[in-house]
C-alpha cells in the first residue's frame, strides 16, 4: 500500500510538471517573437524615411527568421522531462 501511494505521488507530480511546461514554451515563443519584431523594426528603420515608422507588428510568417523560430520552438517540447 505504501508503494502505491509513493507511485501515485510521483505520477501526480510528473503530471503537474507536464501541465506547467507548455506555458513555459508559450512564453518563450512570445519572447522570441517580440525579439524578432524588435530586430526587424530596428533594421528596417535605417532604410525608411523618418515619417515611415513601423507601427504594425510583423507576423512570424512574413519573416524568414520568424519561420525558423516557429519551427525550432515546438521541437523544444519534444525534450524529455528529467
Output the CA–CA distances (angstroms, integers) from residue 17 to 29, 56, 63, in the order listed.
19, 36, 33
User: Is 52 within the bounds of a domain?
Assistant: yes
- Which pLDDT band, with edges at 50, 70 and 90, does 5 fall under? confident
* Number of structural domains in the chain: 1
User: Is 10 within the bounds of a domain?
Assistant: no
Q: Does the pLDDT of residue 21 top 70, yes or no?
A: no
> From the centroid of its chain, how far is CA 13?
24
Q: Does the pLDDT of residue 17 top 60, yes or no?
A: yes
User: Is 78 within the bounds of a domain?
Assistant: yes
- Judge whether 22 and 73 are in contact, CB under 8 Å: no
User: Is 7 within the bounds of a domain?
Assistant: no
User: Is 13 within the bounds of a domain?
Assistant: no
Name the residue range of residue 64's domain: 22-82
User: Is 34 within the bounds of a domain?
Assistant: yes
Compare 5 and 41 and report the one with higher pLDDT. 5
**pTM score:** 0.27
Angle between helices 64-76 and 2-45 (to 10 degrees): 170
- Judge whether 54 and 60 are in contact, CB under 8 Å: no
User: Is 74 within the bounds of a domain?
Assistant: yes
- Which pLDDT band, with edges at 50, 70 and 90, does 12 fall under? confident
Amino acid at each position: 500500500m505504501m508503494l502505491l501511494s509513493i507511485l501515485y505521488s510521483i505520477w501526480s507530480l510528473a503530471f503537474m510538471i507536464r501541465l506547467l511546461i507548455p506555458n513555459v514554451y508559450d512564453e518563450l515563443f512570445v519572447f522570441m517573437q517580440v525579439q524578432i519584431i524588435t530586430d526587424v523594426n530596428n533594421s528596417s528603420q535605417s532604410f525608411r524615411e523618418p515619417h515611415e515608422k513601423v507601427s504594425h507588428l510583423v507576423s512570424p510568417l512574413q519573416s524568414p527568421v520568424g519561420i525558423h523560430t516557429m519551427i525550432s520552438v515546438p521541437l523544444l517540447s519534444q525534450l524529455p522531462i528529467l
